[in-house]
């Protein structure tokens, strides 16, 4: 990342931006720190005995909301320098004096409900308008089986008041939908249960909780089982402090790399990206589309294999994106839809019902983003078909409504960098929730965003 200019992004809150054709795009940047692992590192450190150091923490609004909540539950969470944080854990979390406001963050609220569940406390969880419209029952249902009591607003939404217990029961649970957030909530609660808790996933989701918790001394692991996996955690565990360096986020890296593919004339390299197969679906699809892409192994960090990825512009071909791959690229469909608009041929994406429960209805919003910019799409209940217009063929000129969704805002801007006419994005404020260095990185690569 060129710089971690959170204040810079905040200063532009609620402002529209315009993205213009930028054939000069090229260069190199470090991947923005991973959001999922940043949340998990703060939460695990916050309940561990002793002082943990976290470096390269993603200082985004979402992660800062989690840090604030962990502080309110009793831990000390302090910034020592840019990206460098010291967390002095509180092994017995306490009832916070005010509601825990998780802002826009589904990961923050669902993981924290699970983490708080194993303590004798009561906490009220709130969020912004987008988070307050999202389903919480999917995480609360298994926690109730373990012994938690929880009241929700109508439809299982926030605000949620949760009363935890130091006498939770261990469960074996198969989530009805593929969700790393639900799995992680159960595993974090299971750290305090009276026995072994298991989560059986028919389709494997990101296993960052399972990879990170053992660094804090937890007896937790995960094993592949065909297309799925089984995670388990032993109960009644105390954690110890750990030092964690946060690796690069494949979901954020997708934006500068997409700019290189659809707009640039040179190479774009993003360094230090997690290549965990449960996060790498987009890059597999890009390979199938014929992207000119080099993936160079770049060591390991926090238990994750990393790579530097270089792309060059070229002709991409439309592909079928099957439902099984969705859990490994669940956040990448808006940007893939944009890339598909610049491909030759048709891209059909199926099995996407979950996209309707994200920060916005991402399925409908991705379709609207493309339609507003002259790209033909077909929107189904759980599918999206994009009729590619070839390199340089996307008309653009449209206004993108971001609906308080950071990934739609960034996707709209990427479309503008390759389209014939300037694209306007109505509100870029939410980009600060996941990728606060976005504008700096894009400017350094030569993107015309004003
Ligand atoms: C996340 C899991 C995914 C993803 C989100 C981060 C995580 O959500 O969309 O951005 O860190 O566990 P679901 O668990 O709802 O699929």
In this structure, what DSSP letter does residue 74 have? T
pLDDT number for residue 2: 28
Dist CA 66 CA 212 (whole Å) = 17
User: Is 335 contained in some domain?
Assistant: yes
In the listed set 223, 245, 267, which residue is the last one of a domain according to the structure? Answer: 245
Q: Smallest Cα–Cα separation from 196: which of 235, 237, 239?
A: 235
- On whether both 279 and 180 belong to a single domain, the answer is no
- Ligand 1 within 6 A of CB of 107: yes
The reply to whether 25 and 127 lie within a common domain is no
Domain assignment present for 5:
no
Residue 52: closest CA among 304, 208, 238, 240:
240
End-to-end CA distance of the chain: 20
Q: Is 4 contained in some domain?
A: no
- Residue 141 domain flag: yes
Task: Note whether 26 and 60 are same-domain residues.
Answer: no
Mutation test residue for ligand 1: of 138, 246, 281, 330, the one with most atoms within 8 Å of CB: 330
- Point out the catalytic residue in the list 34, 101, 249, 331: 331
Q: Which atom of ligand 1 is found nearest the CA of 327?
A: 16
Do both 74 and 167 map to the same domain?
yes
Position 29 pLDDT exceeds 60: yes
User: Do 231 and 314 have their domain in common?
Assistant: no
* pLDDT value at 7 more than 50: no
Residues 6+ apart with CB under 8 A from 72: 96, 97, 98, 100
Quote the tokens at residue 337. 């839809």
Asked whether residue 140 falls in the same domain as residue 253, the answer is no
Domain assignment present for residue 8? The answer is no
Cα gap 122→337, rounded to integer Å: 42
Contact assessment for residue 119 and residue 143, using Cβ atoms and an 8 Å cutoff: no
Q: If you measure from the C-alpha of residue 145 to the centroid of ligand 1, how many angstroms do you get, rounded to a whole number?
A: 22
Distance between CA atoms of residues 154 and 231, nearest Å: 31
Residues 208-215, mean pLDDT to the nearest whole number = 98
Q: Please say if the pLDDT value at position 164 is more than 60.
A: yes
Asked if the structure places residue 1 within a domain, the reply is no
180 lines ligand 1 (CB under 6 A): yes
Rounded Cα distance between 341 and 171, Å, is 45
Distance CA 261, CA 312 (A): 6
pLDDT interval class at 195 (50, 70, 90): very high
Six-digit token string for 392: 């340089």
Give me the pLDDT at residue 13, please: 52
Angle 93-51-71 (CA atoms, 0-180°, nearest 5)?
40
The alpha carbon of residue 353 and the mean position of all alpha carbons in its chain are separated, in whole angstroms, by 17
End position of a domain, from candidates 245, 266, 283: 245
Mean pLDDT for the chain?
96
Q: Is the CB of 70 under 6 A from ligand 1?
A: no
**Dihedral (Cα; 155, 401, 333, 211), 10-degree rounding:** -60
> Same domain, yes or no, for 72 and 177?
yes
Residue 331 Cβ < 6 Å to ligand 1: yes
**Is residue 51 in some structural domain?**
yes
Same domain, 71 and 88: yes
Domain that holds residue 312: 17-34+248-449
CA 236 to chain centre: 29
Is-contact 235 191, C-beta < 8 A?
yes
- How confident is the model over 376-394, as pLDDT tens digits? 999 999 999 999 999 999 9
What pLDDT score was predicted for residue 11? 34
Q: Is the pLDDT of residue 3 over 60?
A: no
Whole-number Å distance, alpha carbon 181 to ligand 1 midpoint, is 5
Using the 3D structure, point to which of 192, 226, 245 is the last residue of a domain: 245
For residue 335, the domain's CATH number is: 3.65.10.10
Residue 226, burial from CB neighbour count under 10 angstroms (0-12, 13-18, 19+) = exposed
Q: What is the DSSP string of 312-331?
A: E----B--EE-GGGGGGSTT
pLDDT digits (tens, 9 = 90+) for 290-300: 999 999 999 99
pLDDT at 102 over 80: yes
The pLDDT score that the predictor gives to residue 1 is: 29
Region 357-374: mean pLDDT is 97
Q: Are residues 401 and 253 in the same domain?
A: yes
**pLDDT reported for residue 310:** 98
441 ligand 1 Cβ < 6 A: no
Per-residue pLDDT at 54 exceeds 60: yes
Write out the two tokens for 101.
Answer: 């406001």
For residue 260, the tally of other CB atoms under 10 A from its CB is 29
Please name which of 271, 226, 114 lies closest in space to residue 180, comparing C-alpha atoms.
114
Of 62, 66, 104, 180, which is best to mutate to test ligand 1, by the most ligand atoms within 8 angstroms of its C-beta?
180
How far is Cα 267 from Cα 151, in angstroms, rounded to an integer? 52
Q: Is the CB of 111 under 6 A from ligand 1?
A: no
Region 404-430 average pLDDT: 97
Q: Is the pLDDT of residue 367 over 60?
A: yes
CA-proximal residue: ligand 1, atom 16 (nearest): 179
What is the band of 264 on the pLDDT scale with cuts at 50, 70, 90? confident
Q: What is the mean pLDDT of residues 95-118?
A: 98
Where is 28: in which H helix or E strand? Answer: strand 27-30
Q: Provide the pLDDT for residue 15.
A: 83
Question: Do 235 and 320 sit in the same domain of this protein?
Answer: no
How far out from the chain centre does Cα 91 lie? 27
The verdict on 236 and 270 lying in the same domain is no
Say what the pLDDT of residue 5 is.
32
Question: Whose Cα sits closest to atom 15 in ligand 1?
Answer: 179
Whether residue 10 lies inside any domain: the answer is no
- What tokens appear for 4 in the block? 């971690």
Domains in the chain, number:
2
Cα(261) to centroid of ligand 1, in Å?
Answer: 26
Q: Indicate whether 219 and 206 sit together in one domain.
A: yes
Instruction: Calculate how far, in angstroms, residue 110's C-alpha sits from the geometric centre of ligand 1.
Output: 10
- For residues 86-94, give the mean pLDDT: 98
238 pLDDT band, cuts 50/70/90, is: very high
To the query of whether residue 331 is one of the catalytic residues in this protein, the response is yes
């Amino acid at each position: 990342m060129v710089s971690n200019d959170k204040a810079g992004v905040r200063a532009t809150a609620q402002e529209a931006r315009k993205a213009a054709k930028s054939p000069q795009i090229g260069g190199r940047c470090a991947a923005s720190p991973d959001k999922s692992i940043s949340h998990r590192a703060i939460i695990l450190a916050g309940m561990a005995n002793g002082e943990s150091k976290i470096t390269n923490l993603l200082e985004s609004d979402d992660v800062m909301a989690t840090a604030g909540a962990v502080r309110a539950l009793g831990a000390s969470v302090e910034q020592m320098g840019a990206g460098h944080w010291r967390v002095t854990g509180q092994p017995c979390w306490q009832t916070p004096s005010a509601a825990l406001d998780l802002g826009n963050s589904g990961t923050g609220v669902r993981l924290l409900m699970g983490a708080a569940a194993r303590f004798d406390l009561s906490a009220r969880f709130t969020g912004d308008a987008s988070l307050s419209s999202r389903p919480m029952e999917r995480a609360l249902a298994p926690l109730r089986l373990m012994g938690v009591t929880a009241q929700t607003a109508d439809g299982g939404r926030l605000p949620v008041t949760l009363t935890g217990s130091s006498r939770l029961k261990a469960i074996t649970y198969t989530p009805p939908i593929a969700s790393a957030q639900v799995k992680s909530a159960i595993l974090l609660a299971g750290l305090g249960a009276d026995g072994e808790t298991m989560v059986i996933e028919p389709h494997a989701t990101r296993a960052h909780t399972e990879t990170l918790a053992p660094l804090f001394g937890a007896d937790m692991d995960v094993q592949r089982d065909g297309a799925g996996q089984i995670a388990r955690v032993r109960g009644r565990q105390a954690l110890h402090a750990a030092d964690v360096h946060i690796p690069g986020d494949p979901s954020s890296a997708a934006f500068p790399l997409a700019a290189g593919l659809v707009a640039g004339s040179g190479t774009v390299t993003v360094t230090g990206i997690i290549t965990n197969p449960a996060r790498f679906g987009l890059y597999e699809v890009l390979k199938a589309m014929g992207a000119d892409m080099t993936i160079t192994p770049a060591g390991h960090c926090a238990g994750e294999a990393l790579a530097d990825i270089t792309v060059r512009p070229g002709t991409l071909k439309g592909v079928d994106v099957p439902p099984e791959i969705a859990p490994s690229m669940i956040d990448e469909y808006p940007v893939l839809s944009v890339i598909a608009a610049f491909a030759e041929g048709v891209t059909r994406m199926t099995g996407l019902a979950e996209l309707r429960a994200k920060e916005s209805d991402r399925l409908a919003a991705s379709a609207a983003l493309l339609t507003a910019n002259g790209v033909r799409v077909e929107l189904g209940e759980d599918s999206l078909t994009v009729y590619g217009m070839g390199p340089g063929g996307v008309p653009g000129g449209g206004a993108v409504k971001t609906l308080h969704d950071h990934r739609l805002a960034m996707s709209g801007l990427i479309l503008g960098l390759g389209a014939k006419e300037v694209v306007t994005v109505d509100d870029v404020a939410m980009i600060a929730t996941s990728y606060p260095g976005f504008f700096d990185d894009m400017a350094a690569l030569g993107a015309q965003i004003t």
